[in-house]
Amino acid sequence: MTRHFLDISDLTGEELRAIVDDAHARKRLRLGWPKGKPDVDAPGKDRVLAMIFQKNSTRTRFSFDAAIRQLGGQAIISTANDMQLGRGEPVEDTARVLSRMVDAIMIRANEHDDVLRLAKTSEVPVVNGLTNQSHPCQIIADIMTIEEHRGAIEGKVLAWVSDGNNVCNSLIHAAARFGFTLRIACPAGYKPSTEAMVFASESRAHVTVTQDPEEAVRGADVVLADTWVSMGDLDHDERLEAFQSYQVNAELMKLAKPDALFLHCLPAHRGEEVTEDVIDGPQSVIWDEAENRIHAQKAILAWCFGAPSLAD
Ligand code: CP
Ligand code: NVA
């Protein structure tokens, strides 16, 4: 069966654990790496990854490109606008054609449904590189980062102070699969998706939503923030106003554990969702988090290719 990586909720806890462990192993094995050197197992050898972008990207674009090279393969990158997809060619036809030419497809799309349709028709693995609904690759890198700094994620308390957006939805899926507590603080009109909350409740995950950032952050091991205005959000001024009391600043961080970590998927807006002293301060691990995107992508692609984990 074709292994797609569309959402954290689609995979079992065992599969996800294997991916995170493989990501840790691939990072460990490359200490002192030259960036272009293939991994010892080269599970992407002779394979081609197509990448399609409907939205901007720095981390996802470069980490997937470098990742497939380190796995021994090659990438072809295109914006959707440069493809016939941008002129209305059906997603299904795009999937059929690319399946004949490449070994995997990574897509960053406006509409989650388009990624599901692509995967349904594609004969090669499809990876979700962010949609309006979720950002599963980011969360694999985030879990890896937390574990690097604080050990096993299970049982930890994470506080999300931001929009209940795509990244938040994937974090909710992960709370269920990895067994951590997630406290979300967001304004009433910006809650996570109903789908993610139903999944959390059916999985008996420890996920709560409050409008009070202090309640969410108190005693937390990790505090996470994201932009108040995601790509595709048109209500910029309205959002800035709604989120004014949801800034992660030194005062809020003081309520978390004294050694709490700060994470942000980036890009960040200093002075809006987070102050400069926090994001550039000693508790912030954002650069490790950004680096870990490449190790996470490699583990995700290796899993899609059915390669054995390097952690075994
Ligand atoms: N965090 C993240 O996905 O970054 P990009 O939008 O730069 O890919
Ligand atoms: N929530 C953000 C994440 C960017 C990586 C967005 O969708 O724009």
Report pLDDT digits (tens) over 174-229: 999 999 999 999 999 999 999 999 999 999 999 999 999 999 999 999 999 999 99
Residue 30 has a pLDDT of 85
Residue type, 77: I
Per-residue pLDDT band for 31 (boundaries 50, 70, 90) equals confident
What pLDDT is stored for residue 180 in this prediction? 98
ipTM over 0.95: yes
Q: What is the mean pLDDT of the chain?
A: 97
Q: Is the CB of 57 within 6 Å of ligand 1?
A: yes
Determine whether 218 is an active site residue. no
d(CA 298, ligand 2 centre) in Å: 21
Residue 108: active-site member: yes
What's the pLDDT band for 312 if we cut at 50, 70, 90?
A: confident
Omega into 267 within 30° of 0, i.e. cis? yes
Least confident of 23-32, 101-110, 181-190, 235-244: 23-32
Provide mean pLDDT across the span 10-39. 92
Q: Does 60 contact ligand 1 (Cβ within 6 A)?
A: yes
pTM above 0.90, yes or no: yes
Q: What is the pLDDT of residues 278-304, one digit of tens each?
A: 999 999 999 999 999 999 999 999 999
Mean pLDDT (whole number) for 230-243: 97
Query: pLDDT at residue 35 above 90?
Result: no
Structure tokens at 132: 């309006």
Q: What is the dihedral of CA 273, 276, 278, 283, to 10 degrees?
A: 130
Q: How distant, in Å, are the alpha carbons of 95, 150, 159, 215, 238 from that of 211?
A: 42, 27, 12, 9, 17
pLDDT recorded at residue 34 = 84
Is residue 16 within 8 Å of residue 154, measured between CB atoms?
no
Atom of ligand 2 nearest to the CA of 229: 8
Give the Cα separation of 289 and 274 in Å (integer).
Answer: 16
Q: Is 57 annotated as a binding residue?
A: yes
* The predicted structure's pLDDT at residue 285: 99
> Which residue has the least CA distance to atom 4 on ligand 1?
59
Element counts in the chain: helices (H) and strands (E): 12, 9
**Ligand nearest to the CA of residue 289, numbered in listed order:** 1
Domains and CATH numbers, the chain: 8-135+293-305 (3.40.50.1370), 137-289 (3.40.50.1370)
Which positions ≥6 away from 112 have C-beta within 8 Å?
128, 131, 132, 133, 134
Mean pLDDT of 155-163: 98
Q: Which of 7, 69, 177, 265 is catalytic?
A: 265
**pLDDT at position 32 over 80:** no
